[in-house]
């Protein structure tokens, strides 16, 4: 693997990974008290402040994330209205809801903080996005919508009821950030500039063309060219870990596939890409700035 360049590694991923378009996004009927546990009374527009897992097999997903990252899974609601909150050290890190797609794979969907969800969703629609779930108010959570951008990447727009989490370096075994793999980076940059307010900054410290989405001086997300244009664009979540090899070993024992092993060609061997047991892509990275 180390002898392959980044583009070849990514192409290998997408010969394995076949992501279906979302037929149903996480729209919980139950209302777990998320906002009151993570809000800090201020807002950071542009930051990815929440994560939803759309899972075709919540039991398998819960077992995986508990065993690999030490999360606990707390159920809310009953029957078809049931949702689950993932927690790390009793702090919410994500929400899971059951859904089914054509190929039965799962997907993590990040939520970008915006000042007005209805306005941002309308703007997204005017810019060519598909509205999966229009802006809605959810008790104990805030206002949220689910969309697919013009290149097909699933994302949500959110205004948490009590404010966003305070910006800080992610703790180990929690979400470190999001990265957009776009079929059309120029068009994606324009879309998110219009809808969210991002400015796109090219960086020269990568071996491939790489863009950072910024709000003022704040880095919010990354973007790179999707090396497999026949597969829709999508957002990839990163989880910070302390020991990459140990995490990979735990993940494979728990049923994950390793799509990209650590390699000097990719961030000095600090990152790997996994496919969890339901088919949801997730990257794991050792990050010690």
171-198 burial, b if ≥16 CB within 10 A, otherwise e? ebbbbbbbbbbbbbbebbbebbeebbbb
- Provide CATH code, domain 6-285: 3.10.180.10
Q: What are the residue boundaries of the structural domains of the chain, listed by start?
A: 6-285
| Structure confidence at residue 206 (pLDDT) | 63
Structure tokens at 219: 């880095």
Contact 110, 50 (CB under 8 A): yes
Confidence grade of residue 209 (pLDDT, cut at 50, 70, 90): confident
Confidence of residue 33 (pLDDT cuts 50, 70, 90): low
Query: What's the mean pLDDT when you consider all of the chain?
Result: 85
> Quick one: which of 61, 45, 226 has its CA closest to 153?
226
Highest mean pLDDT among 37-51, 107-121, 155-169, 221-235: 107-121
CA–CA distance, 71 with 119 (Å, rounded to integer)? 35
Query: 267 or 261: whose pLDDT is higher?
Result: 261
Average pLDDT over residues 77-97: 88
Res. 226: pLDDT tops 50: yes
Which has more confidence, 191 or 261?
191
* Cα 253–Cα 258–Cα 260 angle in degrees, nearest 5: 155
Helix (H) or strand (E) holding 38: helix 35-38
Please answer whether residues 95 and 140 qualify as being in contact, where contact means their C-beta atoms are separated by less than 8 angstroms.
no
- Whole-prediction pTM value? 0.88
The percent of residues in the chain predicted with pLDDT above 70, rounded, is 83
Q: What pLDDT does residue 147 have?
A: 96
Q: What is residue 3's predicted lDDT score, i.e. its pLDDT?
A: 31
Q: Could you give the CA distance from residue 109 to residue 123 in angstroms, rounded to a whole number?
A: 19
The CB density around residue 120, as the number of other CB atoms within 10 Å, is 25
Is the pLDDT higher at 24 or at 176? Answer: 176
Please check the confidence at residue 256 and state whether its pLDDT lies above 70. yes
The reported pLDDT for the residue numbered 24 is 42
Per-residue pLDDT at 251 exceeds 60: yes
């Amino acid at each position: 693997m180390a002898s392959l360049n980044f583009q070849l590694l990514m192409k290998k991923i997408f010969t394995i990974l076949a992501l279906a378009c979302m037929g149903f996004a996480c729209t919980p009927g139950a209302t777990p008290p998320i906002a009151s546990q993570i809000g800090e009374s201020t807002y950071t527009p542009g930051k990815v402040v929440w994560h939803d897992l759309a899972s075709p097999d919540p039991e398998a997903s819960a077992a995986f994330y508990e065993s690999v990252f030490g999360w606990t899974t707390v159920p809310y609601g009953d029957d078809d209205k049931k949702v689950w909150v993932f927690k790390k050290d009793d702090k919410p890190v994500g929400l899971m809801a059951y859904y089914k797609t054509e190929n039965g794979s799962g997907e993590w969907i990040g939520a970008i903080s915006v000042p007005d969800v209805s306005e941002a969703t309308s703007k997204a629609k005017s810019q060519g996005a598909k509205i999966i779930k229009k802006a809605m108010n959810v008790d104990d959570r805030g206002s949220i919508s689910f969309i697919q951008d013009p290149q097909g990447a699933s994302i949500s727009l959110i205004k948490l009821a009590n404010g966003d989490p305070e910006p800080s370096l992610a703790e180990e075994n929690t979400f470190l950030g999001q990265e957009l793999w776009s079929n059309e980076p120029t068009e994606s940059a324009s879309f998110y500039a219009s809808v969210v307010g991002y400015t796109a900054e090219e960086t020269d410290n990568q071996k491939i063309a790489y863009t950072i989405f910024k709000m003022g001086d704040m880095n919010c997300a990354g973007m790179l060219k999707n090396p497999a244009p026949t597969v829709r664009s999508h957002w990839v979540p990163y989880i910070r870990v302390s020991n990459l090899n140990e995490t990979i070993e735990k993940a494979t024992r728990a049923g994950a596939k390793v799509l990209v092993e650590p390699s000097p060609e990719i961030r000095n061997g600090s990152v790997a890409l996994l496919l969890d047991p339901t088919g949801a892509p997730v990257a794991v990275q050792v990050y010690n700035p």
